[in-house]
Chains A and B, each alone.
Chain A
Amino acid sequence: MIEFINFYLVPGLALGSIYALGAIGISMIFGILRFAHFAHGDVMTLGAYATLTAVWALGLHPLLALPVGIAFAILAALLVDRVFYKPLRELPTIYTVIASFGVALIFRSSVQLIWGSQNEVFIRGVQKPLVVFDLFRVSLLHVESIAIIVLSAIALHYFLSRTRTGRSMRAVSDNPELARVAGLDTEKVVRSTWIIGASLAAIAGVLAGLDTNIQPNLGWNLILPMFAAAILGGIGKPMGALLGGMVIGLIEELSSYPWITDEPLINPSYKTATAFFIMVVLLIFRPQGLLRGRLF
């Protein structure tokens, strides 16, 4: 039981936090701009690399250097929205989807050009796990990830329900025509969406980079589980995406637990396939997700 908590449950929650942070952005962008943002993973990568540079330059702990990564990711997201997505906004959204594939490639190759394609690490050496009561041995990073997702969830809830911008974002997501007729500034809403999406993506990128290492495909490799999480939660429902991310992360880690026999239930090399599988099944049977998101 202790082993279950130490090696499966806590890592599952930590992985889930990373997915959740990415999925919130994907879900909000899908809900407000109405397209699947395939470059979102690469926004994460950009955030992670920018943070890495700050760590190198200032010698800070990665989590303290995070604001640099967040700022960089926000700038990049606003820039591509302005240059590449906005001109296509009046067309069928599929063109924007194709453009986002291109942006993903542009981001990734820029990262490779600037930082090279070798693996980098934030902190060298083996990190000592936290030991509690001599029973629970969990990595400090996993605790940090879970703490960050809890804080983000509270902040996001406050923002969406209490602030004017947050409420107009929900309005545009629920009914764009009505929101426009009511005189909401759609462009401002779009900007806020990118700012929030990119900030959370940068945090997720740094957490993912801390968990393994940083390389140019860091974010791209996470994009499908994050889509799965966004769909599971219901498109356009940030809190749903958060829940979806946790569920997908947990399922991925728990799928290799020896549930029935002594062997792992699913071979660990197929761990990520479970997320894709859930996504495909969801798309067929319950595309509106757990929290009744929108369908486009």
Chain B
Amino acid sequence: MDPIGLLFYLVAFLIFGGIYAILCLALNVQWGFGGLFNAGIAGFFAVGAYTSALLTAQPSETHVGGFELPVPLGILAAAMTAGITGWAVARICIRLKSDYLAMASIGIAEILRMVIVNEDWLTNGSLGITNIPRPFDGLVEGRAADILFLAVVWVIVAIIYIICNRLYDSPWGRTLRAVRDNEDAARAVGKDVDAFRLQTFVIGAALMGVAGALSAHYFRFLSPEATEPLLITFLVWVMLMAGGSGNNKGAILGALSVWAIWSMTEIFANRLPAELATRSSYIRMLLIGLLLQFVLQKYRSGLLPERSPGIIFDKEEDKTDG
């Protein structure tokens, strides 16, 4: 492989790695901080992707819009619609215990999927939306545009990482962990458990929407296949479990390492003889499924386990209290 080709392979790897990092951070807010089992990640991802795609694409007769709005506005709107969807879902099922929340969130994600496939007037059904712009389109030409997009993605990852870290350390995050670890105790000290869970769910869903929007802009094309639950929901769960739930750095590391395994097996599969190569994607899924079992049994806290911040105790200020 020539060095230029390798470089652009790496760029493509890191762009999608970044999108997965956002999904993983989002799931970390919901599951790692709040202990909410969201099995409908693909649903929020899809809502975000379609919102931003429809708002920014060129006008077309086959679907609603496009409205040719600037891309940043599309991404913001994606966060909002995904957040609102998350709010509606959370309003309905936040009180449910883990297994039931998993069923309800999968169910809702499947209904969203059906709407996307069947409502041609809105989404152009399985034919999808074309001509979705990227941010700073026209600024650079050709393959350099990929590098620019890579920068955009990772700037967004960095912003979300900082937000998530602040959330984790804040009194809000501390309360949330209390709710996660001992709901009754949190309730007993007067915390509104359901409100905290609702907020967590909405924040996570909004971030998933952003990831969806970025993937639509990256491919410049969006069809229901891009929101395949296996590639979104399942892979992200494996990433977070492997990276370390509750740890934001772990979420990013998990996303990149599992994505590396996933991509590397693809390169490996391309070198296989033809009759095996067609089945290679199944070997890949089998491997990911086994990896999850391995992580669950041996490395339950992940590569970077959660570390709660110690209590910062300022002796100077404390003197006044005696």
Listed in ascending order, the chain A residues whose CB lies under 8 Å from chain B are 30, 35-36, 38, 83-84, 87-88, 91, 93-95, 97-99, 101-106, 108-110, 112-113, 116-117, 224, 227-228, 231, 267, 269-270, 272-273, 276-277, 279-280, 283-284, 287, 295-296
Contacts and interface: CB of A to CB of B under 8 A. Distances in A.
A21 to B, nearest CB: 19
Given A94-B98, A224-B103, A273-B111, A99 B293 contact: yes
B99 A105 contact: no
Interface stretch (B6-14, B131-139, B280-288): B280-288
Which of under 10, 10 to 19, 20 to 34, or 35 or more describes the interface residues of B?
35 or more
Contacts of A231: 100, 103
Contact of A224 (B106, B117, B282): B106
Interface of B: 37, 39, 92-93, 96-100, 102-104, 106-108, 110-111, 114, 117-118, 230, 234, 237-238, 241, 279, 282-286, 288-290, 292-293, 296-297, 300
27 contacts: A35-B99, A36-B99, A36-B102, A84-B297, A87-B297, A93-B98, A93-B99, A94-B98, A95-B296, A97-B37, A98-B241, A101-B292, A102-B238, A102-B292, A103-B289, A105-B286, A106-B289, A110-B282, A112-B285, A113-B282, A224-B103, A270-B118, A272-B110, A273-B111, A277-B107, A283-B104, A296-B99
Contacts of A109: 282-286, 289
B198 to A, nearest CB: 14
Contacts of A38: 102
Contacts of A106: 286, 289-290, 293
Q: Which of B103, B234, B285, B297 has the most CB of A within 10 A?
A: B103
B97 A279 contact: no
Contacts of B237: 98, 101
B276 to A, nearest CB: 10
A69 B273 CA distance: 32
A94 B279 contact: no
B32 to A, nearest CB: 13
B99 A287 contact: no
Nearest to A30: B99
A113 B296 contact: no
Contact of B110 (A30, A94, A101, A276): A276
B107 A224 contact: yes
